[in-house]
Structure 1
């Protein structure tokens, strides 16, 4: 009956609404940056900038120091759009799901183009400026592609695929929340006491996504392993990218920057004191969620079973 209700709810929702769901998700993903005062950060290769005045309005924080922020704003937006679409039904169908993805793509392509054009206008006429802008735009486009795939998985895939999409969003959610609470390029925040807790936001959400997905099939078990892999590797990758891209000494040495980033990634992904706590948290939350889910399913089966009657 629940699946039938979901299917009817989906049929009653016009496809145009799913386009709006996608656009709404894309905009929601950008909200932490838009709420922070969305002005172009001071550019190392900029020309004619006044450090005492805000830069031009941009939809993404183009800067080598904000690469992770660019990625999470776009990825989380795609996942949120998929969640909005799936909330209208168990699986809204290919047409409506593609409409959701289209809504996300329109918003995110507009954000990338507007930011790239605005940034280009303030950069010096140098080869380094072209490389810098190209690399930042490539990062944004790649993140938008990941966002579109995650959106489609969450909106339209069977539960194992949808779970992977949710886990991708969960892995980015901690950094996204960090941008919301601690705006980029700001030096103080009323939420500073929450910084230690942000480390566990993504593991908890991944654990909940694993519990929602379940482990009743090979595909769902694989999805759970993917989620744990994200908990393990994404923080190390985030640290590596932020460390390498934020090192001005290596700004003109891309091979050296890549080598340094790989070194940081290896270190951050193999230190037990760093890796173990988030993984344990995700596993504990997932196991607890699966137990609760099993108990609720058992209660529903008991409630649905016929009550035996006595015959005299």
Structure 2
């Protein structure tokens, strides 16, 4: 009797790891699902009516355009990037805060949850777009360009999620730096869509200019400078503050022009010119870089002082 009882006692725990793994995977998937919805929420609260299209087959009023889960339009390129990547970043942050024992399992479960939302939104939106566009090669080029852009945004979302969810402080800090501009854009989209474009406070553009620097400064203060390899995260984040706003400006300028629409060489040339000017001495990058650097160093100094006081008090 004792032998079967001994066997029975040890047969019960054998199912616990798999049950715990399944539960963690489900929670990770739900985190990704909810984060994906959160990222797209600023667009959905507007009613998610497809923006007017230059190549639409029929003349319709804006309110009569079909529903699309993504704001597919060349004029909304940076908005689409923000809506998609913020969902991934939110999922990564949730995993980072949770810090589960099965981090890899939960992280990839969160990835699958985000992808469910993004793939559903992409398929539905492009199905609506294809149905309404004029036939022709220009419409095909437009459709293909938008699809390639959205796929690129989804890949950027996965990068942001994996970096921020990582147990590595350096990788997480780099993820924060990459997301500073998209998060700011996402927040501005929220404000615009809640209060209406004509009612946006005049201070919003000014505040939005400095928000990325504040976010990066906080990330650098959290990261710290020890061990020395963390300097890599500092350098990259400051480079992101210099390059990404200029890149966003160039992309929006090129895609927002109707004069050069369809002329790819001319659009690329214009993009290089705008990007170069935004990076030059007339650009606004230097003050924001300095603000982020000062905030980061101040935060590191404050943490050092607090740690020193605690050490002396304990001694």
Give the TM-score of the pair, scaled to structure 2.
0.87
| Partners of 1:200 and 1:31 in 2: CA distance | 24
1:85·1:92 contact (CA, 8 Å) conserved in 2?
Answer: no
1:284 pairs with one of 274, 294, 314: 294
Instruction: Confirm whether residue 69 of structure 1 aligns to residue 79 of structure 2.
Output: yes
Q: Alignment partner of 2:64: what SS?
A: coil
Q: Deviations over 1:260-303 (max 9, x none)?
A: 01110001011245221111111122112212222333344345
2:51·2:62 contact (CA, 8 Å) conserved in 1?
Answer: no
Q: Alignment partner of 1:14: what SS?
A: helix
Partner of 2:242: 232
| Partners of 2:171 and 2:41 in 1: CA distance | 27
Give, in angstroms, the shift of residue 234 of structure 1.
Answer: 0.8
User: Structure 1 segments of 4 or more deviating over 6 A?
Assistant: 10-13
| Partners of 2:255 and 2:66 in 1: CA distance | 23
| Partners of 2:300 and 2:138 in 1: CA distance | 52
| Partners of 1:91 and 1:202 in 2: CA distance | 32
Matches within 5 A, 1:1-312: 14-89=24-99, 93-183=103-193, 187-302=197-312, 305=314
Partner of 1:5: none
Give, in angstroms, the shift of residue 92 of structure 1.
Answer: 5.1
Q: Which runs of 5+ in 2 are unaligned?
A: 1-19
Alpha carbons of 1:42 and 1:12: their partners in 2 closer, same or farther (altered >3 Å)? closer
1:251·1:257 contact (CA, 8 Å) conserved in 2?
Answer: yes
Give the TM-score of the pair, scaled to structure 1.
0.88
Over alpha carbons, which structure has the higher Rg? 2
Q: Alignment partner of 2:199: what SS?
A: coil
Give the superposed CA RMSD.
2.1
Query: How many pairs are equivalent?
Result: 295
1:171·1:206 contact (CA, 8 Å) conserved in 2?
Answer: no
Give, in angstroms, the shift of residue 123 of structure 1.
Answer: 0.4
Q: Deviations over 1:153-175 (max 9, x none)?
A: 11124110111112212232111
Q: Which runs of 5+ in 1 are unaligned?
A: 1-9, 307-312
Partner of 2:3: none
Structure (1 or 2) with the greater helix fraction: 2
Q: Deviations over 1:190-210 (max 9, x none)?
A: 433322111011111011111
Give, in angstroms, the shift of residue 82 of structure 1.
Answer: 0.4
